[in-house]
Amino acid sequence: MSLPKINYINTGRDGMLDGTTEQDIDAMFDALKAQSKVVLHFHGGLVSRAAGMAGAERLKTECYDGSGAHPVFFVWESGLLEVVRHNLREIFGEDIFKILLKWLLKYASAKLEAGGAKSPLLAVPPDIEIYKELVKLDAGKEPFSDFEVDAGISEISEAEQDAFEAEMGRDADFQETVQAIVNAIVPEEQTSGAKGIVIRTRHSMRTLMSPEVVEQLKSDVDNAKSGGQAKGIFSTAALIKKAAVILIRVVRRFVQKRDHGLYPTVVEEILREFYVANIGTKIWGAMKQETADTFQTGGTTRGGDYFTRKLSELLAGGYRPQITLVGHSAGSVFINNLLTHIRKMQAGGDKPIPADFKFRNIIFLAPACTFEHFQPTVKANRNLFDSFRMFTMTDKAESDDSLVPYIYTRSLLYFISGVLEPDAKGGVDFDKPIVGMQRYHNRPAVYSFPEVVAGRDFVAGITSGVVWSPTTAPWPPGLGTASLSHSDFDNDVFTLDSIRHIIKTS
Per-residue pLDDT tens listing for the chain (506 residues): 589 999 999 998 889 999 899 999 999 999 999 999 999 999 987 667 777 888 999 999 999 999 999 999 999 866 677 788 889 999 999 999 999 999 999 999 999 998 766 666 789 999 999 999 999 999 999 999 999 998 889 999 999 999 999 999 889 899 889 888 888 887 766 776 655 666 667 778 889 999 888 888 888 777 777 766 554 444 447 889 999 999 999 999 999 999 999 999 999 999 999 999 889 888 898 889 999 999 998 778 999 999 999 999 999 999 999 999 999 999 999 999 999 999 999 988 777 899 999 999 999 999 999 999 999 999 999 999 999 999 999 999 999 999 999 999 999 999 999 999 999 888 899 999 999 999 999 999 999 999 999 999 999 999 999 999 999 989 999 999 999 999 999 999 999 999 999 999 98
C-alpha dihedral (122, 126, 130, 131), degrees to nearest 10: 170
* 3-state SS assignment for residue 109: helix
**Backbone conformation region of residue 140, classed left if phi is above 0, alpha if psi is from -120 to 50, else beta:** left
Within 10 A of 360 (CB to CB), how many other CB atoms are there? 19
Q: Which residues of 96-123 are buried (b: 16+ CB within 10 A; e: fewer)?
A: bbebbbbbbbbbbbbbbbbeebeeeebe
> Distance (Å, rounded) from C-alpha 225 to C-alpha 386?
68
Task: Give the pLDDT score at 268.
Answer: 98
Task: Read off the pTM.
Answer: 0.94
CB 439 within 8 A of CB 455: no
Query: How do beta strands 359-365 and 37-42 pair?
Result: unpaired
Query: What one-letter code names the amino acid at 472?
Result: T
Task: Give the pLDDT score at 221.
Answer: 75
Task: Give the pLDDT score at 46.
Answer: 67
CB 46 within 8 A of CB 13: no
Task: Give the pLDDT score at 283.
Answer: 84
> Distance (Å, rounded) from C-alpha 64 to C-alpha 70?
7
Helices then strands, counting H and E runs in the chain, come out as 18, 9
Task: Give the pLDDT score at 121.
Answer: 75
